[in-house]
Structure 1
Amino acid sequence: MKSTKNFRFLFFSIVIGLLLIITACGNNDDSTTETKNENKESTETAEVTLDSAMGEVTIPADIKRVMAPFHEDALLALGVTPVAKWAIGETVQEYLEKDLKDVPSIEWNLPLEQVLSHEPDLIILENNMDGYEGKYEEYNKIATTYVMTEETQTDWHKQIETFGKILGKEEAAKKALSDYETKVTEAKDQLKEAIGDQTVAAIWAVGNQFFLFEHNRHSADVVYNELGLNQPALVKELGDAQNAQWNPISVEKLSELDADHVFLLALEGEQGIETLENSAVWQSTPAAQNGNVHILNDASNWTNKGLLASEKTIDDIVKTLIK
C-alpha cells in the first residue's frame, strides 16, 4: 500500500512538472510572437512632417516608390532604389549604373506624363524648379512632393540626414555618414604618408575643351577640403566656384599648372587627350614631365556631389597615388 501511494505521488509530480513545462513553453512562444510583432512594427515607417522649401510637408507612412531625379546618390546610400533615374537623353550618372542599370530613365526636366507613368508615392525635387516642365502643384497632385531647401540640396551630408528622416531611415543615415568619415580619415592618413605635401589638380576634358576644378567644384571638395590635399597655385588663383557654369581654360593657361599630380578626366579616345599629348607647353608641366598625369575615363563621380560620388572619388585617388 505504501509503495502504491509513493507511485501515485511520483506520477502526479511528473504530470504537474510536465504541465508547468508546457505552460512555460506556451508563454515563451507568446513572448516570441510578441517580440516578432514588435520588431515587425518597428520596421514600418511612420508618417512624418518636415519643413521644405514649400513649407511643411507631411510624408505618408511606408513610402515604397520614390523619385528623386539627379539625387539618386542619396537614395542608394540609404538602401533605396528609385522608380526612375535622371537622364539627359542617353546620358545618365554612370557611377551609379551598377545599381541603376535596370531602372528606367526619366528626362531631366520631369515631363508630367513621364512622372505619372512611374506611379511614385513620393517625389523629391530640387530647390530651383525653373527647369522642370511642371509646377509644384501639378507634381503634388501625382504624389506627395517634397522640395529640398537650398541647404539640403547643396550639402549632401545634410541631404542624407533629410532623406533619412523622410524615408524612416535615420539610423541608416547616421551609419552611412559615420562610415564615410572613417573612410576619409583612413584615406587622409594614407595619402599624407604616400605623397606628403605634393600638390594635386583635376582637369575635365570634354571634346577639345578643358575645365580646371576649383577647390570646391563638385568632388574636388573631397580632394582639397576633406582629404586635405594641397592645391597648386593655379587652382588657388581660381578661387571659389561661383555658380553651376564654369569656363574652359586654354592649353596655354594650363602650361602654368605646377601640380605634382594631375587627374585628367576624359572618355577613352577624347580629343583633349591627344591635344595635351601633342602640346609642348603642356608636356613641360611638372606632372607631365614626371609621368604623373593620371587619366580616368569615368568623370561622372568627379562631376557630382554625393556620398557615393565622394567615396568613389576617394577610391580613385587612393588607388592612383598610393603605390
Structure 2
Amino acid sequence: MRHALTTIGVLLLNPVSAFADCASAERLLDHHMLDAPVCIPADPKRIAFTMEEIIAAYAMGGESVVDNWYFQSFRGNFPGMTKTVDVPPVDVSYYPQSDIETLTLAAPDLIVSFTEIDNNAKAAELAPVVALTWEDETTWRDLHHFIALLLDKEDEGQTMLDALDGRIARLNADLGDMPRSFAIVRTMDDGDTLQTFTALNFGALILQDAGLQIGPDILSPEASAELRNAWWYPMSTEKLQTLDVDHLFVLTGWEPEIEAAFLESALWQALPAVAEGRVIRPQGDGEQFIRENIVYAHRVVDFAYEHVLGTTAEVAGNPNPFADWLAE
C-alpha cells in the first residue's frame, strides 16, 4: 500500500503510558506498530475507516460508518459485495480533501486514518483518532494484523492469512514448468511513457510469492528510487525491449484515449510479448495490483489462474474465499 501521503507504525493522538489504566468503558490498544499504547472505546460501535484500511476491515466482517473513495473503487471490482454488505450512508470521498462536517454526520466513536492528514486534528474533536504511519519496512500483512487487533479478531485474521498462503503455495505447484518471468505496467498521462512497477509492487509481491519472477531487465527498487520511488518508475518507449517477459500484465491506464493510442502503436505491437499474445489485461481498474489487502491478494492469485494457466481457480480446485463478492 503506497498512497500519496508518506510512509506500519501507528501514531495515535493522545498516546498513554504502557502502565496507564484506561477508563472502564475503554481498552488499552498496544501493538508493535504503535509508538505508544492508547486508550480506545472497549467496544466501538461506530468506527469511521477513512482511507484504504476500510477494505481490510470489511474483509474481516467489520463495518464503517463512512464510505470513501477507496471503498468505492473496491466495490467496482467486487460488485457482488453489496448483496451482503450495507454501503455506509455517509461518504467522505477522498478524506484528506473532504469537508470535516461530512464526517460529523456519521457520529463516529472511533476514527481510523493515516498520519500527515490535516483533517485528523479536526476529526479528533469528534472521536479518538488512530493515525497509521506506513514505513518502508512495513507490509500489507502488518496492516491486516493491526486491523484484526483493533476489531478483536486476531484469530480470524491469522486464519485468513494462512488460507491465502495455502492458495499461493497451491498456485506455485500448479504453475509447474510454466515460464515464469513477468512485468506489470500501465500507460500514464502522456503517450511516451509507461508506469512500470518494481518487485515491491503489491501484485508483484503476490506473484513472486507464487514463484513467478520479475523480468530481469525491470529496474530494481533501488534503481527505481533514483528515478522516482522504489515501487514504480516511468519507462520511455525507447526502453520497451525491457518488457520481453513471459507474462506481461497491463493494467488499466490513467487516460483511456492515451491508452488506446499507445496499445495500437507500431512500437507496442512489435513487442514480442504483444505479437505472441502474452499480454494479460486484468479486469477492473488495476487497483487489485496496487491497494494492499487480503481480498486483492486473492484476486491476483485468480488472475494468474485465469491468464497464465488459462483456467479458473475454482476449476483448479483452489477457489477464492471472496468469490461471492465478484458476482454481478
Please state which band the TM-score falls in when normalised by the shorter chain.
0.7 to 0.9
1:97-108 superposed matches below 5 A: 98-99=80-81, 102-103=87-88, 104-108=90-94
Do the aligned partners of residues 152 and 241 (structure 1) sit closer, same or farther apart at CA in structure 2, a change above 3 Å counting?
A: closer
Gaps of 5+ in 1: 1-44
Number of matched pairs: 271
Alignment correspondent of 2:4: none
Quick one: which amino acid aligns to residue 286 of structure 1?
Answer: P
- 2:63 paired residue number: 81
**Aligned letter for 1:165?**
L
Alignment match of 2:160 (pick from 176, 187, 200)? 176
Question: Secondary structure in 2 aligned to 1:235?
Answer: coil
Gaps of 5+ in 2: 1-24, 311-328
1:1-323 superposed matches below 5 A = 47-51=27-31, 53=34, 55-68=36-49, 69-87=51-69, 92-93=73-74, 94-95=76-77, 98-99=80-81, 102-103=87-88, 104-108=90-94, 109=96, 110-126=98-114, 128-129=115-116, 131-135=117-121, 138-150=122-134, 154-191=138-175, 193=176, 195=178, 197-207=179-189, 208=191, 209-224=193-208, 226-236=209-219, 239=222, 242=225, 243=229, 246-266=232-252, 270-298=256-284, 299-323=286-310
What secondary structure is seen at the aligned counterpart in 2 of 1:210? strand
Aligned partner of 2:187: which letter? Answer: A
Q: Which residue of 1 aligns with 2:17?
A: none
Which has the bigger relative contact order, CA under 8 A and spacing at least 6? Answer: 2
Of 298-307 and 141-150, the range deviating more from structure 2? 141-150
TM normalised by structure 2 equals 0.72
Q: What is the identity, as a one-letter code, of the residue corresponding to 2:235?
A: I
Secondary structure at the aligned position of 1:107 is classed as coil
Question: Which protein has the larger Cα radius of gyration, Structure 1 or Structure 2?
Answer: 1
Q: Distance in 2 between matches of 1:245 and 1:237?
A: 9
Alpha carbon RMSD of aligned pairs, Å? 3.1
Inter-CA distance 240–185: structure 2 relative to 1 (3 Å threshold): farther
Code of the aligned partner of 1:202: I
Q: 1:55, CA displacement in angstroms?
A: 2.8
Evaluate the alpha carbon distance shift between residue 75 and residue 96 of structure 1 in structure 2; reply closer, same or farther with a 3 A threshold. farther
Question: What's the offset of the Cα at 1:132?
Answer: 3.2
* Letter matched to residue 81 of structure 1: E
Query: TM-score of the superposition, structure 1-length normalised?
Result: 0.73
Higher helix share: 1
Q: CA deviation at 1:73?
A: 1.9
